[in-house]
Structure formats: structure tokens, C-alpha cells
Structure 1
């Protein structure tokens, strides 16, 4: 009798590519699952490596096609068609790789005594590839976004000699200061689901919180504190969740994991092109932080470059025509990949002519064009002062005064219109460009704006918040938004293409939070003194933007951004993670302006 089951080889003789699935041994004997793909006939080809926690097998088989490019991400198309050998690997402990998974495994040292980390695994992988892939020319480039940006940077620590170039995209660098887990001390609630997914079944899925449909705003508000939510959902013992709950401050646990600090302590030997999206909703901090760490080592200004494009998180690897309601003058992601990124790799991996990669490449939103610069930031700090009557301007107000609002943790300000689903990509990916008019009329959102501009204001850098504020509570969060307010009679093109009107649109240029207990020290929080004016300084994300004539510049200040960030109870407790219902209390917030307490947003203005 003929059996009803048999094996089926999806890659047919007619396919235009070769695929090899191999287990690459590491120095401790652990083997990592690795997929090697190339066009048939490839010879003397460079290797383009990515190391991922997100399933190399699935990433290398998008659809059952006999064409190589159909089986790869769109970002790999130009490379695959030009003789590159595409290699994807599961990091240890994930999917088909052996070993134990540690989220953002620290470098070998005080937090990791095993002698094994993502740096050693990258070294061992590259060493095996150049010795066992006969089609290669022996040169390797590494690329990846988000977690893969982290593993890309790790490959540059004690790098293998065959590693010739790296492109870390939106890398996870410092999870407390401003990447995935916290921002200036405020916890990002969306981190919980990620930690559960990564820790469950080797990342194979099925680990996501089974929250069902509904409004995340209501769900997290009713749950109470982060610890209460974690316990109620049975995730309080998940390793990643425990790390969050047990380490709310910037102690050695977090500071010794900061990748920019690791790189600052080592020579710069690998040409590196750092990339981040201007509206990166997950990892806006990392790439500029690494740039600051590496740039002093770049004595000839030709080893490290920074790219800031008009994209969401990992948007550079997809199409870049638009983001939410905002449209651009072309496929900006494809432009960067073909005009700048691939020539960079071609030079170092294939011996192509030097493309003279600009030290800094940014996309000027507002006027829609790429700009090349010798350094970053380019702008000069120019304070935009808050003033009485909700006005803002570049002249410092003479007299000191304040505007007040009441912040109630029982009614926090939402970061998107409700209902909110942080798992919905249609909401999550473009949230940083969402029209802010949905909160403008709330009494717990204070705002100031300029008169219509008579001439353009061009900023290139990270705007700095210079805030003088007081609270009647003993702790507080402060959220500052820098917004481009479009004219209410904004002309529209004939074909809107389904996009909302930009007339009167309040486009966020930068949004960032600061947890008040860390005003003096990120490592040692302290209660605030009720009624005492405190001077706060922190940075908004890096941008290249032009506020056009007729537009207004707006600054909004509020004390919650929920449920993206956990609520501050506004009563000082040892750990906000474990705040109890009675700790959450209303507070009157005072934003001071003028005189000796002149609150402002310092704009990095260029002529």
C-alpha cells in the first residue's frame, strides 16, 4: 500500500537560488541554526549577515517561490540580485538554535560571567562562514534593525577580522534611558507582552498575553500598578518581566548593559552606518547615542555615519512613501538603501569605488529632501520660550508666572484616541505622527504656540526641554510635545489617496517623558517637595524638520501618556511598579515661565 505521507522539497531544480540550512558551532559547543542563501552561480560573493531572535527559517521563506528575491525581505532585494550571499541566524536559545536565551544578553563581564555573549557568537559565526562557504570572497557585512541592530553592534565588539562593515538600524542600546523598556525612568507597559513572547517556547509564538479584544486604556487602568497587572495575568515570574519589576531605577543592572558605553570603551575598527527613524516609536535613543560614543574616535570623519530618515521603527526596510497622514516626495526608504546603504557595503565588501558616504544624512521633513552634513547636531540651541496666555516665542519673557492644570491618575491622558490597542500595527506604527488635536481641549494638557511664522524655522538636532515645574504631589511625570501646527486652510492636492486632510493638523515633531523622582539622579530617586519649583532638562528625539511660513510651533505639557507609560501615582512610593490604589492621587501641576524660571524648548536652529 502506498503511504499517504511523504517529504516534499519546496526548492525545485528550476529555482534560481541555493539554500543551505546549517548548524554553526560556537566555542562552547552550542550550535546555532543558520540559513545561507544565494543566487545560483554566485562566486567570490560577500556575505551579508543578520542575527535574529525572530525565526531565521521563516524569514528566509516568505512564500513558496522559486525566485530568491521572493523569499527575502524587500531590503535584501538589491543585494541578492548583485551576488551577495544572504545569511540569517537564530541567536542562541531561540527557534531552531541550541542554548539558553537571555534577552539582550549582556557582554561578558560583571553581569555575565559565562564568557559567552552576542559578540563571541558573532565572531564564531563569521569565522565558520568564511571557512565553510566556498562561494564567498571572505568579506562579511552585518545588518539588522531593532534587536538585530543590537546584535549588529555586538558584532563590532572585538570584531572578527573578516567583518568589514556594519549597518545597525534602530538598535536597542540602552533600554532604560530611551529605548524599549523605559524612557527617562517611565516604564513602557508594552514591554510586558514582548518579554512574555520572547521567553515562551523559544520565541515560537503562543506566548503573547491572551488579553482579548477591548480598549488597552481601560484594561491597564482597571488593573492598577504594573505589578498588579503582571500578577493578575500570571506573568510576574517571567524572567524579563521580573527584570522590569525588580529594577525600576538606573542602577548598575541597566547602566552596565548600555551598548554605547561598551563601544565607547573600545577602538573603532569597523566602518559603521547608524540608522534611525525620525518617528521611531521603539528605539529612538540608541543610534544617536552610539554616534555620540563613536564620533570622537572617527579622526578623519569617515568611519562612522548617522542616518535619520522620515520613518517609523524599522521603516527603512520597507516602503517609505508615507507615515500615517504624512506623505513624502518618493520612496524615501528605497532611496536610502540604493543611493547610500548599498554603495557603502559595496565599497567595503566588493571593492567598489569609495561612495564618500556623508558623515550625516538626514531627511528634512517639511521641505522633503535629503541633506548631507559634516556633523550632528547641526543646529544652534535657540530657546522657544513659554509665555503667559498660551503664547510662545523666541524672546525671553521678563516676568515670572505659571500656568496650572490638575493631573488625575484616575483619568490619565491617552497617547492615542480610544479605543487603544497597542498590538494593532495600524495604531502602533504611526502613533508618533498622530494629529494631537484629540487632546488639545483637555484641561490636563497645557499648551503654548507661536503666532503664524513669517519665515521658515529649520531645526537639525535633538530639541532640549528646559522645564521649570512644581507639583502639589511628591512625584510626577512630565510629558513634553513639540508640534508643527498646519494652517487651517492648508491646500490639499487633487487626490488625497485616502489620507486625512492636513488642514489644521497638529503634527508631533518630538514627544518625550521624564519621571520627576529622577530629577537629581537616575540611580537614586527622591521624592519631590510639594510646591517646590524644580528645573528639569531632557532631550526630545533627533530630527531634521522645517516649520514652514504660515505654520505655528506648539509646545504641549501633560503628566501622563497612557497606557504606553505606566501611571505615576503622584505620591512618592519606593517603587511605582508596586503602587497601591490609595497611592494614586490628584495633583496640581504648575508650569513656570519667564524671569528666572523661563521654561523653554531649545530648538537646534540652522540658518
Structure 2
């Protein structure tokens, strides 16, 4: 009877169109099998993962993203060591504007095809990872580099992405800014524009790893994160997070590297083996490499006034390429009021500073996109790209100029009574002394210092410098209140005459905008000592970056070095300040103040106190050459005698 019921039920289900239940899934069938695709048919975009072959057979992981229905779209490429998968999956969403970085939103909504690629050897790309892989040649005996990989990638994309119009631009910030510049060496014919942002250009002179020979030891964590594993996710097991105490206890930067095993990593070993600006560094300097080649791709260089990582690169490449831009149509330099890579985020403020609107979005929408459109989109309006575009901090507006700097150099002298003057000193022999003690280095921000605190790190260049100006090992010079606004446009140059009782020394020079002591409308700005431009120089390189020498105790040497590029308007009532010190810790490794062949290997007994002299007399007139809009006349109006 039961068998007859079951048969009858099966017949009824079959007649009614209901199939019998499928066989049950076996309990022990593996649960991780085919990849789940989160992009459902309801998504408003197409996302493709591709392994693009390079000329040597290595395949690079590449993600192509576009709005559904895109046709004849230009390609915007970014080549990154920071994971193409993550860059194109910021959120789990069916909307393209949600899965991509915010800076991509307007572009993809207007038909751009966005492409991100893992550089060779990291994340999902094949091959060997060499951090900032040098150009093929003396330092790279292979046939491939970031230039050839960019060429091969572009060649594949224009031939195999049916939705494209065959025109490509490249962009990216920091390391991807570096790869953007590398694509300009022997560029593919389809590469029509480039927007390198905060590019790493010269890791010794002024970008990530060193500044004028002083090692930025906080970046040891970066080396570990980038090279500790192919997935680039290695962290440092420090435990406590006061880097000031940790680096001080470790002694030298090399001692810190040894303590945590960093010294076994090839990238760290290479840097520690090349403390001076030798052929290894010179052969990788992109401003030199690009300066020796024709400028064939319209290029817009972008950097932040307070870029805490790569302030050197964009202005250096601009200086190298600007003479090649004979009609002022191929090259642009943009400086905004941003931190490192801040152009790609909300630019309405930085630290305690507030600006007129979202300056990052203003640039992206009003300048970058029309620039790209004019070179990549069929029928797009012509765009008169500004040769130089800078945001005037203090006046809160964008300004266009034909050249950088737009200011004329005016000397601001360190004077007696710790003051500043436009007049050269008259004293025959005058100097101000302080004692620099490596056991108590000047912190770059108040302790404790957590270099993994992104909020602190991103805004530290606009942090209040009052924590340093009151220290006895920082000598401070202040002007009277300005009688009229003073606009600085360009790169101030430090001209410091200084002596030491030791045989080596670091010199830090800070140019500072001092706010009035009262500000009822914005109390957190009252008395603020805001860095306009700050930089360091390692004394052993005063005669040669390539061949360091011990300093002669007591002898004043002239140290000349550029501060970062700015457009800064100092209002009437504010004062100018210059601070000079001999340590900037733990951002930079401590100088032992006794000459040793390689500071990475300085022993505890090498670190010694030194008496430092800042000279300000007729023969040794220490000063800051500031590029003033309006020149000497404007400077005299602001700082009358």
C-alpha cells in the first residue's frame, strides 16, 4: 500500500511539472571548490581578472573594471605593489562607484575603463619581486623592467579589450607614481597621457628612504611589509608601539634591523650596503633617467605641499623635463595642500587646517579629468593645461603660473637676538651655540611616537612645532609680526653656516609660519607654529654626496639644500620663524656625531655629545633664500626695517 502511494505521488509531481528532488550533496564533498563570483547579474559593472603575458613569458595579474555598456572607452592604468584585487574590491557591492577608490568614481561613470595591475613578483603576479626594480642596464641585467612591463601591458590591453578606443593613460601615487614615470621611458604609442602623483623618484636625495643622506628608519617596517612575503602582509612583532623608545634602545638603525631580523631581507641589506649616493642610487634616479630622454607623452606631475613621504620627486622631475617643454604644452606641475597621496581623498583640510572646499576633488574634477579627456576621449574639448597649478595656502585659492617657482629669491637672514632680518649681518664673528646629545634626540612629534598611527603620520608636517622650539638643543629665530601678506612660491633654500665640535652632524632647518597668540574663531590655531618647509642634511656629505668625509671640529661649513615646494601666503600679523636642530627622531636615524664609515653599524660608544654653532656674521651669513612673489619690494613691505 505504501509503495503504491509513493508511486502515485511521483506520478502526480511529474504531471504537475515538479521534478523529483535532486540527489543530496555528499557530506564529504569539499566545501572549497569553484571560486564564488560576488559580481551578480544585477551589478552595474563588468570586472575581469586576467593574467597578461610579458615578453619573457611572466604573467601579471590584472583587473579590468568598467560600467556595463561601455564602448569606445579610454583606459586608465595603474601598476601597483599594493594589490590590484584589493584596489578593485574596496567594498562588496554591485555598484562600480563602491568597489573602486573614490578618485575613480567620476571617471568610470563617464566611460573610462579602469585597470589595476600587480607589478611583477608580488601578490597574484608571477615572476620575481625586486622593490622599485631598476631600469634594464647596469643595475638590471634582465630584459624586463617597469618600462617594458608597462609597454607589454598596454599593448595587450589595446588589442584584447574590445570596449576600448585604443587610448591609454597611466596614473598612480607613491610607488604607482614611480611605475607611472617608468612607463614614460620608451613609452607605448597608445600611451597618450600620464598623471604621476607623489612619485618615488630618488630614494636617497629626497624621497622615501633617505633625505640628503639621513636615513628614514621608520621605513624599515615598509621593507618588511613589502618583502617579508609574496602577499606583502608581514607585520613587525614589536609589542609596544613607542618607536622613539624602541629605536633609542636599539642604538643604530642597523641595530634595530638586526634585533627584529630585518637585516636578513635583501631589500634592507641593499640599502644598508649603500649609505652614500653611489652609482647604485644614481643609476635609479628617475629625474636623471627621464631628463636624458625626449618628452613625448603629456605629463601632469602632482604632489602635496605637506607630502611626508615623497616631497622631492615631482619637483625634481619637473626641473629635469621643463627645458624640454618648449611650447609649455607637454608638462604640468600641480602642488596641492595635501599629505602624501592626499590628492585622491577628501582635501577639505589637513590636521587643524581647513581649506575652501574639497581641494582634492576640485583638482580631480576640474583639472585632471579634463586633461585626460582631451588626450583620450574622442571629440572631447581641448584643455589648456596649466604649466604650474598650486593652491595658495593662506589665501585659500588655486593659482595658475607659467613657471615654478613664481617667486623671486629674497634672503632672510638669521640675525642677532634670535631674530630674522632682510639685511645681511654686520658682525665680524657671531654664532649661536647649543649642545646636541644623541642620548636625548629631538622628536619629530611629541613622544610617545607610533609610526603606525595613520592620523599622526599623515598630518605630522602640519603639526605644531612648539614642542621643539622650547628645547635647549633647538635654536630658534623669529621675525617681527608681518606688516603685509608675504607669499612664498617655490622651494626655499637653506643656506646654513654651521660648525660642530664632533666629526659628523645632522642639520635640520625648518621654515615656520607662526600664528597670532589669539584666535577666538578657531582656538586650535592660536599660536600655532606651522611648518612651511622642513628638511634635513647629513653633514658628512657637505662636499660630496658620493664620497663622505669627516667634518673638521670647530670649522663652519656651508650647507645648501632645498626645502619642499610650496605656495604659502603668510598673512599680516603672523611671524616667520626658523628653527635649527641636529636630530629629528625617530623619523631619521641618529647621527653619532663621531664620524664612522657606515652609520648603520655605529656602536653605542660612537654616540657622543657635540656643541653646535650656527653662524651669522659677514663671512658666514646663515639665511633662507625664500622665493617671494613680488620679490624684494614685497618682502620689504612685509618686513620693514
Question: TM-score category by the smaller chain?
Answer: over 0.9
Choose the corresponding residue for 1:157, options 173, 179, 185. 185
| 1:383 corresponds to which of 405, 411, 414 | 411
**Paired residue for 1:550?**
573
Contact 1:492 1:501 in 2 (8 A): no
Does residue 585 of the first structure (1) align with residue 612 of the second (2)?
no
- Counterpart Cα distance in 2 of 1:378 and 1:437: 30
Q: Which residue of 2 aligns with 1:515?
A: 538
Within the candidate set 364, 377, 387, 2:392 is matched to 364
Report SS of the residue matched to 2:38.
coil
How big is each residue's C-alpha offset from its partner over 1:219-244, in whole Å with a ceiling of 9 and x where there is no partner? 00000111111111111110111012
Instruction: Determine the structure 2 residue equivalent to 1:287.
Output: 314
Question: Against the structure 1 CA distance between its residues 232 and 272, is the aligned structure 2 distance closer, same or farther, given a 3 Å change threshold?
Answer: same
State the Cα deviation string for residues 429-456 of structure 1 (Å, max 9, x = none).
1000000111121000000010000011
Higher mean C-alpha displacement, 2-11 vs 588-597: 2-11
Matched position secondary structure for 2:619: helix
Aligned to 1:345: 372
**Residue in 2 that maps onto 1:300:** 327
Distance 1:208 1:13 in 2: 38
User: Which of residues 230, 248, 259 is equivalent to 2:257?
Assistant: 230
Residue equivalent to 1:177: 205
* Match of residue 527 from structure 2: 504
In the TM superposition, what whole-angstrom CA distance separates every residue of 1:40-77 from its partner, at most 9, and x where no partner exists?
Answer: 00000000000000000111011110000100001100
Deviations 1:12-32 (A, max 9, x none): 111000011000000000000
Match of 2:20 in 1: none
Match of 1:131 in 2: 159
Q: Please give the residue correspondences for 1:237-248 in structure 2 after superposition, counting only pairs within 5 Å.
A: 237-248=264-275
Tell me, yes or no, if the aligned pair for 1:215 and 1:419 is still in contact at 8 Å: yes
Aligned equivalent of 1:39, options 63, 67, 72: 67
> 1 CA distance for matches of 2:197 and 2:403?
19
Task: Describe how 1:208-223 pairs up with structure 2 within 5 A.
Answer: 208-223=235-250
CA-to-partner distance for each residue in 1:496-546, whole Å, 9 max, x for gaps?
Answer: xxxx61010000011100000000000000000000011110000000001
- CA distance in 1: counterparts of 2:235 and 2:213, whole angstroms: 25
1:204 is displaced (CA, Å) by: 3.4
Would the alpha carbon gap of residues 593 and 14 (structure 1) be closer, same or farther in structure 2, given more than 3 Å must change? same
Q: CA deviation at 1:208?
A: 2.1
1:326 has 2:353 as partner? yes
Instruction: Report the equivalent of 1:430.
Output: 459
Map of 1:67-146 to 2, 5 A cutoff? 67-146=95-174
Task: Output the CA distance in 1 between the equivalents of 2:70 and 2:415.
Answer: 65
* Matched residue SS, 1:482: strand
TM-superposed CA distance for 1:592, in Å, is 0.5
* Contact kept in structure 2, 1:53 and 1:203, CA below 8 Å: no
Q: 1:237 to 1:485 in 2, by over 3 A?
A: same
TM-score (norm 2): 0.93
| Structure 1 match to 2:18 | none
Partners of 1:359 and 1:193 in 2: how far apart?
A: 37
What value does the CA root-mean-square deviation take over the aligned residues? Answer: 0.9
- 1:574 equivalent in alignment to 2:597: yes
Q: Deviations over 1:176-201 (max 9, x none)?
A: 00000000000000121111111122
Aligned residues: 600
Aligned to 1:456: 485
How far apart are 1:210 and its partner, in Å? 1.3
Unpaired runs of 5+ residues, structure 1, are 494-499
Q: CA separation in 2, counterparts of 1:229 and 1:540?
A: 29
Structure 1 window deviating more from structure 2 (225-234 vs 252-261): it is 225-234
List alignment gaps of at least 5 residues for structure 2: 1-23, 631-641
| In structure 1, distance between residues paired with 2:516 and 2:448 | 28
Query: Using the alignment, how far apart are the partners of 2:550 and 2:533 within structure 1?
Result: 28
Provide the residue aligned with 1:497 in structure 2: none
Contact 1:38 1:84 survives alignment (8 Å): yes
User: What CA distance in whole angstroms lies between the structure 2 residues aligned with 1:3 and 1:405?
Assistant: 79
Per-residue CA deviations over 1:465-486 (Å, capped at 9, x if unaligned) read 0110000000000000000000
Distance 1:3 1:504, change over 3 A: farther
State the 1:594 CA deviation: 2.7
User: Does 2:297 align with 1:274?
Assistant: no
TM score, norm. by length of structure 1:
0.98
The answer to whether the 8 A contact 1:492-1:502 is kept is no
Cα distance in structure 1, aligned partners of 2:138 and 2:521:
58
Q: Which residue of 1 aligns with 2:227?
A: 199
Q: Is 1:485 aligned with 2:514?
A: yes
Aligned to 1:188: 216
Query: Which residue in the other structure is 1:496 paired with?
Result: none
How many Å apart are 1:580 and its aligned residue?
Answer: 0.4
Aligned to 1:411: 440
Residue in 1 that maps onto 2:498: 469
CA distance in 1: counterparts of 2:502 and 2:228, whole angstroms:
40
Alpha-carbon contact 1:166-1:271 (below 8 Å) kept: yes
1:310 corresponds in structure 2 to 337
Higher gyration radius (CA): 2
Q: Distance in 1 between matches of 2:611 and 2:425?
A: 23
Deviations 1:300-328 (A, max 9, x none): 00100000000000000000010001111
1:286–1:203 distance in 2 versus 1, CA, 3 Å: farther
- Structure 2 residue matching 1:501: 3-state secondary structure: helix
Offset, 1:3: 5.4
Aligned match of 1:259: 286
SS across alignment from 1:180: coil
* Offset of residue 203 of structure 1: 3.6
Matched residue SS, 1:202: coil
Rounded to whole Å, the distance in 1 between the matches of 2:242 and 2:223 is 21
